[in-house]
């Protein structure tokens, strides 16, 4: 197959995209990319699949879940390959998610600082072992055990 062919084999797509064949097959099973089958049942990908794969890889590097990536691709008219404008729009929305996650990670990092060298994993004082101690606001002791439900009395024979 010529390098400038309009279609790529899975090996060519892997080589050009830098993504393993197994990952490309995985993307296909997840509906992120698609191929047609030849008479010999071999996959052929259109050339614009390269751009879709690049979009998926970049999104994954940002920590965007595959389901979200798939939904974003499905929003595009006739599931076309994302353009520069599409990427600008989607990455703008994902930036807000990234900012939220970074803020959460910074809080976790700060909590971890208190834990380093401690190891107590105390429910009373460790913010990592017991984050947002909501049940603790209801009072001391195990809060998930329903005290109104008593176990059945033992049966005498
Ligand atoms: S392990 Fe002791 S405070 Fe977290």
List all residues whose CB is within 6 A of at least one atom of ligand 1: 114-115, 118-122, 125-126, 128-129
* Topology given in CATH for the domain delimited by 1-82: Multidrug-efflux Transporter Regulator; Chain: A; Domain 2 (1.10.1660)
- Structure token digits, residue 12: 């060519």
Q: What is the pLDDT of residue 84?
A: 87
Query: pLDDT tens per residue, the chain (157 residues)?
Result: 555 578 999 999 999 999 999 999 999 999 999 999 999 999 999 998 999 999 999 999 988 889 989 988 888 877 678 888 888 888 888 888 889 989 999 988 988 888 888 888 887 788 888 777 666 677 776 666 655 555 555 565 5
Using a 10 angstrom Cβ sphere, with 0-12 exposed, 13-18 middle and 19 or more buried, the burial of residue 94 is middle
- Structure token digits, residue 79: 């599931």
Query: Which phi and psi (to 5°) does residue 45 adopt?
Result: -110, 140
Point out the ligand 1 atom lying closest to the alpha carbon of residue 112: 4
Which of 122, 123, 124, 130 is the best mutation target for the ligand 1 pocket, counting ligand atoms within 8 Å of the beta carbon and taking the most? Answer: 122
Q: What is the pLDDT of residue 19?
A: 96
Q: What is the pLDDT of residue 139?
A: 73
Q: Which long-range contacts (CB under 8 A, 24 or more apart) does 5-11 make?
A: 5/47, 6/46, 6/47, 7/36, 7/44, 7/45, 7/46, 7/47, 8/44, 8/45, 8/46, 8/47, 8/49, 8/50, 9/42, 9/43, 9/44, 9/45, 10/35, 10/42, 10/43, 10/45
Q: Kindly calculate the radius of gyration of the chain based on its CA atoms and give it in whole angstroms.
A: 26
Q: What is the DSSP letter of 155?
A: P
Contact 11, 48 (CB under 8 A): no
SS3 8: strand
Q: What is the pLDDT of residue 37?
A: 94
Q: Which of 42, 40, 45, 41 is nearest to 13 (CA)?
A: 45
Q: What is the pLDDT of residue 25?
A: 97
Q: What is the pLDDT of residue 42?
A: 93
Q: Domain spans of the chain? A: 1-82
Point out the ligand 1 atom lying closest to the alpha carbon of residue 114: 3
């Amino acid at each position: 197959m010529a390098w400038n062919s309009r279609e790529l084999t899975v090996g060519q797509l892997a080589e050009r995209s830098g993504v393993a064949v197994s990952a490309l097959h995985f993307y296909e099973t997840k509906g992120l990319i698609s191929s047609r089958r030849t008479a010999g049942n071999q996959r052929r990908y259109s050339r614009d699949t390269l751009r879709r794969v690049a979009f998926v890889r970049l999104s994954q590097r940002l920590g965007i879940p595959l389901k979200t990536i798939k939904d974003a691709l499905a929003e595009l008219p006739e599931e076309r390959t994302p353009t520069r404008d599409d990427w600008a729009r989607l990455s703008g929305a994902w930036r807000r998610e990234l900012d939220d996650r970074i803020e959460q990670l910074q809080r976790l990092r700060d909590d971890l600082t208190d834990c380093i060298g401690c190891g107590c994993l105390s429910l009373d004082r460790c913010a990592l072992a017991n984050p947002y101690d909501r049940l603790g606001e209801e009072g001391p002791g195990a809060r998930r055990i329903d005290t109104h439900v008593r176990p059945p009395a033992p049966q005498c024979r």
